[in-house]
Structure 1
Amino acid sequence: MAKLYELRLYVAGKTSKSVVALENLKKICEEHLKGQYSIEVIDLLERPQLAEGDQILAIPTLVKKVPEPVRKIIGDLSNVEKVLVGLDIRPRTTS
């Protein structure tokens, strides 16, 4: 059975960096985790108390909750290779 990835993206409002991070995350997930992921976007302007639980120090930050280990990636997620390594997803090999 395939692993399910629970991802949280912490943002602060609808800044261009936050929007780009979400777009990049969706693209990566659709390409590498199709049907195996859920994304929860948490806007810290609306719910600042949630930053403490995942120890969020910078925005945007992606947190992979499941499968363990918990991993964090800071930034707009434009470096696909870094995101794949950070999420512990092996890039697909092309034949």
Structure 2
Amino acid sequence: MENALVATTLSMEKETWELRLYVAGQTAKSVTALNNLHKYCERYLKGRYQLEVIDLLKNPQLAEGDQILAIPTLVRKVPSPIRRIIGDLSNQERVLVGLDIRPLESPEQ
């Protein structure tokens, strides 16, 4: 059983995370959310993520597919299950727990 757990953990570590950030133009919250997300991804998922930024002012119809009710909203599509976080992503601990990001190594604070 322990080997299965190790194999699952290793496959999750190598899996490419698919993230979507829904914004509405270049508002202060949207810009802050994008900057925070880039910082977390480069620190904890470097080389293992794809980020798509969707501006709902340009493509409002895309909000329905991921059930977006507020902006900015971050959606983790892969790995499953789908997870969502609303807001400017300034609370790092909340974002990491909300997305279930487990650092491969403990970076220095």
Structure-1-length-normalised TM-score: 0.94
1:84 aligns with one of 56, 74, 96: 96
Return the offset for 1:87.
1.0
More helix by share: 2
Rounded Cα–Cα distance in structure 1 between residues aligned with 2:83 and 2:99: 7
Q: Are 2:75 and 1:63 aligned?
A: yes
Partner in structure 2 of residue 22 of structure 1 = 34
- State the one-letter code of the partner of 1:62: L
Aligned counterpart, 1:43: 55
Higher RCO structure (Cα 8 Å, ≥6 apart): 1
SS of equivalent residue, structure 1 residue 53: coil
SS in 1 for 2:60: coil
Q: Does 1:93 find its partner at 2:106? A: yes
Q: CA deviation at 1:24?
A: 0.0
- TM-score by length of structure 2 reads 0.83
> What is the number of residues matched between the two proteins?
95
Structure 2's unaligned 5+ residue stretches are 1-10
Could you tell me how far apart the structure 2 residues matched to 1:46 and 1:63 are?
18
- Kindly name which structure, 1 or 2, has the bigger radius of gyration based on alpha carbons: 2
Q: Which runs of 5+ in 1 are unaligned?
A: none
Displacement, 1:93?
3.4
Q: What is the Cα deviation at residue 69 of structure 1? A: 0.3
Instruction: Tell me, in whole angstroms, the C-alpha distance in 1 between the residues paired with 2:60 and 2:30.
Output: 16
* Displaced runs of 4 or more, over 2 A: 91-95
Structure 1 vs Structure 2: percent identity of aligned residues? 71
Distance apart, 1:89 and its partner CA: 0.8
Instruction: Provide the C-alpha distance between the structure 2 equivalents of 1:75 and 1:63, rounded to a whole number of angstroms.
Output: 12
